[in-house]
Amino acid sequence: MTDDHNTVPCLVLFYTKYLKNNDTAAFICNIARFYTIETLERLTFSERDEVRRSAALALGFLADQSEEAIFYRLLRDKDRTVRMLAENGIRALWTRAGSDANRQMLRVAMRLISAKQYEEAVIKTSELIEHAPQFAEAWNQRAIAHFALKQYRFSVEDGCRALKLNPYHYAAALGVGHAYLFLGNITRAIEYLELALDVNPNLESVRQNLSKLVRQFKGKL
């Protein structure tokens, strides 16, 4: 696919400036002025790596969940940087769902988890889930908190709920797989780790650990 030579240099210029000054606000402002989501999506098919990188970064800031499939395609891009930008974009997308109030509650919960205040995080995510039961990331974050508290069955339940709401949530699939490992259910652990890899094939450490796990499991049969 050929590029639109009137627009591509401008997009790459914005991207290059962002790499130098890390000015997110300026990058978003420039992109929003000159590009639509549809144009950025088209440019992710460019033959030029720098164009796909620029478009992937822009979409990571501007896209909503209706464009989520774009990122899963980019996770299989030939360029490693594009794949990394797609992964970052997906994670940002997960946290942008819902209202401003819901996103604020989620940020508080995530800070609690980062601070290892897991009991408080369970309380906060439970409040969020009560207000926004369709917010997949709220269930995923509560699953993370439950896992840290060694409440593996609760972690599995919440992770599976996140996956029901968003079947492409590979991080939730990973969490469920790890929780099943601690519960001693190797078959289910393998199933969910394979699901995570099917969505995001760039999880090399997971692939290596899964390979070992499968060999160990087969050796016990």
Residue 64: pLDDT band (50, 70, 90) is: confident
Residue 6: is its pLDDT beyond 70?
A: no
**Per-residue pLDDT, 180:** 97
**Per-residue pLDDT, 7:** 54
As a whole number, mean pLDDT of residues 34-47 equals 95
**pLDDT for 100-115, tens place per residue?**
999 999 999 999 999 9
**Per-residue pLDDT, 9:** 75
**Percent of the chain's residues with pLDDT above 70:** 95
Domain assignments of the chain as residue spans, ordered by start: 8-95, 100-219
**pLDDT for 122-166, tens place per residue?**
999 999 999 999 999 999 999 999 999 999 999 999 999 999 999
CATH no. for 8-95: 1.25.10.10
Residue 2: is its pLDDT beyond 50?
A: no
Identify the architecture of domain 100-219 in CATH: Alpha Horseshoe (1.25)
> What b-and-e string marks burial along 98-132, b requiring 16 or more CB atoms within 10 Å of the CB?
beeebbebbebbbebbeeebbebbbebbeebbeeb
